[in-house]
Structure 1
Amino acid sequence: MNTNDLRIFEAVAANGSFTKAAEAMFTVQSNVTARIKNLEEEFGADLFTRTSRKVALTSAGETLMQYSKQIDHLMQEAKKDIKKFSQVSGNLKIGCIETTMAFKVPDILTRFTEAYPDVDLEFKSQMRSDLINDVINYKLDAAFVSAPINSPELEQLHIKEEQLVILAPAHGPELKELLTKQPLKIIVFDQGCVFRARLEAWLNAKGIIQYKSIILNSLEGIINFVEAGLGISILPAELIEQYYSGRKLKTHMLNKELGTMSTVLIYRKNVPQSRALKAFVEMY
């Protein structure tokens, strides 16, 4: 017996005729007759009474009809559940640094939500060390951070290389002269910011250890302060070119070692991934 046998059985009962059941099931009468005969042999009982005018369910046929409807219902529910399971849905918490939040998240949201509309994406902006800890401690599903990552608990997927540039005001002294001012002012995010660490490393390489940090918590604030001549900063060149090319800023290239930043996507190793996280990782 298979489910198609039961559908034929129900068609005969509904139409009161083997001929009409065959028409309804797009088959031949001989097939309907054979299927019903097989069911009766399997259950060891007559399922229909046959007369010259019509066929009708016996008491055994009535019993099978109830089970047949239950089986059909269960099959439909199974199809719904399997279809639902095959769809990518759920919630993802993704971390990133401030510049990624401003520069990349809109594109990520657009591309991912178009492909997987049933997944809710939640983004959180933090310092690099906090992002790494939150992924390790299951507070985030994944995070975009700068390489290198030296944690045996994390997988990392290379995303892109970015070129960092020194930012200075467009009007005023040249960068070389600005670096001689006492005290030199730098416009940065708080401790733990990868850009701040690169800028401080660049200054130390030039023998500049005396400087004053003006700490801000927004990308727009850093741009405004540098433009106003309150200090220098460091940010990705692509970010400046795409969003701040019209601002009164000068950019200065760095050497490859300090000026190149690799961004990676990190997520936990050896932990079963949700379908949503797998889809997010596979997008890259």
Structure 2
Amino acid sequence: MDLKYLNTFKTIVEEGSFSKAAEKLNYTQSTITFQIGQLEQELSSQLFEKIGRRMVLTKAGSQLVPYVNDVLTSVDRMRYFENDLAQFQGNLNIGIAETQLCYKMPDILKAFHQQAPNARLLLRSMNCYDIRDELLNGTLDLGVFYEDVGGFGSNLTTYRLGEYPVILVASPEISKDCSDFITPDRNISISFIINEANCIFRQMFEQYLRERSIMIDHTIELWSIPTIKNLVKNNVGISFLPKFAVQEELDCGELVEIPTDLVNTKISAVCGHHKNKWISPLMQAFIDLCVKLK
């Protein structure tokens, strides 16, 4: 039995369609169809059936899924066995929330590089919802994200890294003109500078504004936290960020905290992986450093 047929089957299940699996694996759709046909022939069972426009798993296909996962996990372990494990060789795919990547991970990444100089870290700065989803479908080995996104139940194994307050900040000059974010039913002429719509702390603050019936002029949507802070320092608007991300600016007076009724609002960072993921030596080394140096 050809292992690539099993990998194709697993990818179709994860991606939800033959076409998406073909795109991910860089195959033509006819190649995908041929490989599944060969697998069905070897197993003497139909694995997919067409319902409407969708190809869905048959009962036999559903029963095959855990067996395929076990086989491919075992193959993954064998690949690591072939390497000199003492040297921590191999690739590690990690998605990291940008605030964590900028302000919490440099020491961890430095220590990991010293411990595993022959490893290849494939890092991506990602939205926490995307990290969660890619951990669930197996695209990422590990994720460092805010568990406040929810939606993963017991499907992910997580290791707590810390709980952090989130605060509203502005430049000292801007804070004089928009110091009241507590009184409800107000229109405040100021720009809110923040990450894209799925940013967890943006969602927290926007929910607060809705509950207080507080309206602000408009939102400036950026990806880079350093850029957001720079604009806030230069009187362009306000932002709602984890306190650790703005602590240096608060200490030197470039930014000030604006009071709100979001008392004790915190977000919880975790390092996580799929519960069925085999923990390679590289993964364990990274997890251990995250927990130790958090």
TM-score (norm 1): 0.64
Identical positions, percent: 25
Partner residue, 2:168: 166
Partner residue, 1:102: 102
Q: Counterpart amino acid of 2:151?
A: N
- RMSD, aligned α-carbons: 2.6
Partner residue, 1:121: 121
Aligned partner of residue 124 in structure 2, secondary structure: strand
Q: Distance in 1 between matches of 2:233 and 2:169?
A: 9
Partner residue, 1:14: none
What is the aligned counterpart of 1:205 among 208, 211, 217?
A: 211
Equivalent pairs, count: 204
Partner residue, 2:267: 261
Q: Distance in 2 between matches of 1:107 and 1:260?
A: 23
Q: Counterpart amino acid of 2:161?
A: I
Q: Distance in 2 between matches of 1:266 and 1:86?
A: 24
Q: Distance in 2 between matches of 1:243 and 1:170?
A: 11
Aligned partner of residue 93 in structure 1, secondary structure: strand
Deviation readout 1:75-114 (Å, 9 max, x if unpaired)? xxxxxx8892344221112111221121123111111122
Partner residue, 2:179: 176
Q: Counterpart amino acid of 2:230?
A: N
Listed as ranges, the gaps of 5+ residues in structure 1 are: 1-80
Q: Distance in 2 between matches of 1:230 and 1:223?
A: 10
Partner residue, 2:285: 279
Shift of 1:197: 0.9
Divergent runs of 4+, >6 A: none
Aligned partner of residue 214 in structure 1, secondary structure: strand
Q: Counterpart amino acid of 2:205?
A: L
Greater C-alpha Rg: 1
What does 1:13-162 correspond to in 2, within 5 Å?
A: 84-148=84-148, 149-151=150-152, 152-162=154-164
Change (3 A) 1:217 1:226: same
TM-score (norm 2): 0.62
Aligned partner of residue 91 in structure 2, secondary structure: strand
Change (3 A) 1:158 1:275: same
Q: Distance in 1 between matches of 2:191 and 2:117?
A: 46
Shift of 1:135: 1.6
Q: Counterpart amino acid of 1:150?
A: G
Q: Distance in 2 between matches of 1:247 and 1:208?
A: 27
